[in-house]
Amino acid sequence: MAEKLSYHQELTIKYTLQLREVLKTLPSFAKDYFRAIEPTTSAKTRISYAYDLRVFFNFLKECNPTYRKYSMEQFTPADLDRIQAVDIEEYMEYLKVYKDEKGDIQTNTEKGLARKMSALRSFYAYYFKRQVIKTNPTLLVDMPKLHDKAIIRLDADEVAELLDFVENAGNTLTGQALTYYNKTKDRDLAILTLLLGTGIRVSECVGLNISDVDFKNNGITVTRKGGSQMVVYFGDEVEAALMNYLEVVRNNTTPLPSAEDALFLSTRRTRMGVQAIQNMVKKYAKQVTPNKKITPHKLRSTYGTSLYKETGDIYLVADVLGHKDINTTRKHYAAIDDERRRKAANIVKLRED
């Protein structure tokens, strides 16, 4: 009997099959690039790069007179050599607002623009390094500047308000809304408590199986980015919320065949997805903090900030959150926060009392 695939293995297969389909819409020589980066990238990264590179070749066909009558099959590595730095700059400008293949308007934030340019740079670097092309115009163009954004997170009192609201929201509901709330309350409270109490990513939460939860040691085994596994420990509040959910809901629910071991189930008895958790977090958070756009990632930031304030150990925070680069952690959690800024306002005296 074949061994049952994990959630993350199933995702890898899904993205790999998607990539094969997208490659059919790219120049044939692009297959060499994706084959080469397979050992060092995730399936999700590769499919994202494939979509981004398709935008680039569609840009050439749409905006560059030389390639206006080209089909995708006609592009060769020699065409990459004909592209100049000014063409890359025009592409960056194009990415800000353009129409996709369906005719829908697409825009890119600084982050989206940087990702698409990163994909193009990586694509060019592969052929340049292997001396298939003689030039690499992407190196002559400055990458988009990413401006720092204020880190949005919940304050300690807002965390308490959010969890209290989830526990008591039924007092204000009636009819079908109340029925749905009662059906999902324990599950939603367990998810929110877990995210706030461990800082795991929403993708890691979705991938959890019942067998990943170890109440003896109060730990969960999560699959991090890149596929590595790690035990993340949780406290008493998370333990209580998880045990309540398992006893009241999960153990009394018969999942569909594809989700027998999934920890968190949807109302359709399938594994709960990333978007479903994102929508659930937003639904509750907007009732408590309407002026803050709270997502699962903001709950992760909330945990990281609290952990750093309590311990002052940036390396511990990086380890628990699964950051490979300590500078990422330091940038987000060791910066001067609003509380310290407020204190600084009264330190410098303009006149003596």
Mean pLDDT of the 280-284 span: 96
Cα radius of gyration rounded to whole Å, the chain: 24
Q: For the chain, first and last CA: distance in Å? A: 82
Mean pLDDT (the chain, rounded): 91
Mean pLDDT of the 273-291 span: 96
Residue 160: strand, helix, or coil: helix
Q: Are residues 247 and 198 in the same domain?
A: yes
pTM recorded for the entire structure: 0.84
**For 64-84, where are the alpha helices, taking DSSP H only?**
77-82
Q: Are residues 228 and 174 in the same domain?
A: yes
Number of domains the chain is built from: 2
Mean pLDDT of the 50-73 span: 96
CA distances from 132 to 25, 70, 121, 129, 184 (A): 22, 21, 15, 8, 56
> Is residue 39 over pLDDT 60?
yes
Mean pLDDT of the 223-231 span: 86
Q: Are residues 162 and 135 in the same domain?
A: no
Q: How confident is the model at residue 346 (pLDDT cuts 50, 70, 90)?
A: low
Q: Are residues 208 and 329 in the same domain?
A: yes
Q: Are residues 258 and 309 in the same domain?
A: yes
Residues 6 or more apart whose Cβ sits within 8 Å of residue 236: none
3-state helix, strand, coil in the chain (%, to 5): 65, 5, 30
Residue position matching structure tokens 């937003």: 282
Residues spanned by the domain of 93: 7-140
Mean pLDDT of the 272-291 span: 96
Domain boundary among 140, 170, 190: 140
Q: Are residues 247 and 204 in the same domain?
A: yes
> Is residue 264 over pLDDT 70?
yes
Mean pLDDT of the 94-105 span: 91
d(C-alpha 114, C-alpha 295), whole Å: 22
Query: What is the torsional sign of CA 70, 131, 18, 52?
Result: negative
Q: Which pLDDT tens digit goes with each residue over 163-222?
A: 999 999 988 889 999 999 999 999 999 999 999 999 999 999 999 999 999 999 999 999
Q: Show contacts of 227-230: CB within 8 Å, 24+ apart.
A: 227/8, 227/42, 230/322
Task: Give the full edge-to-edge strand order of the sheet including 213-214.
Answer: 213-214, 219-223, 229-233
Q: Are residues 104 and 232 in the same domain?
A: no
Q: Are residues 123 and 238 in the same domain?
A: no
> Is residue 285 over pLDDT 90?
yes
CATH code assigned at 264: 1.10.443.10
351: in domain: no
Q: Are residues 130 and 253 in the same domain?
A: no
66: in domain: yes
**Is residue 74 within a helix (H) or strand (E), and if so which, with residue range?**
none
> Is residue 348 over pLDDT 80?
no
Q: Are residues 161 and 99 in the same domain?
A: no
Residue position matching structure tokens 């890119």: 108
CATH code assigned at 106: 1.10.150.130
Domain boundary among 79, 107, 140: 140
Looking only at the bridges linking them, the beta strands covering 105-107 and 97-99 are antiparallel
Domain boundary among 113, 140, 167: 140
d(C-alpha 320, C-alpha 334), whole Å: 15
348: in domain: no
d(C-alpha 211, C-alpha 199), whole Å: 20
d(C-alpha 262, C-alpha 281), whole Å: 19
Residue position matching structure tokens 């999902």: 184
Q: Are residues 133 and 257 in the same domain?
A: no
Instruction: Please count the other Cβ atoms lying within 10 Å of the Cβ belonging to residue 62.
Output: 12
Q: How confident is the model at residue 1 (pLDDT cuts 50, 70, 90)?
A: very low
36: in domain: yes
Q: Are residues 177 and 239 in the same domain?
A: yes
346: in domain: no
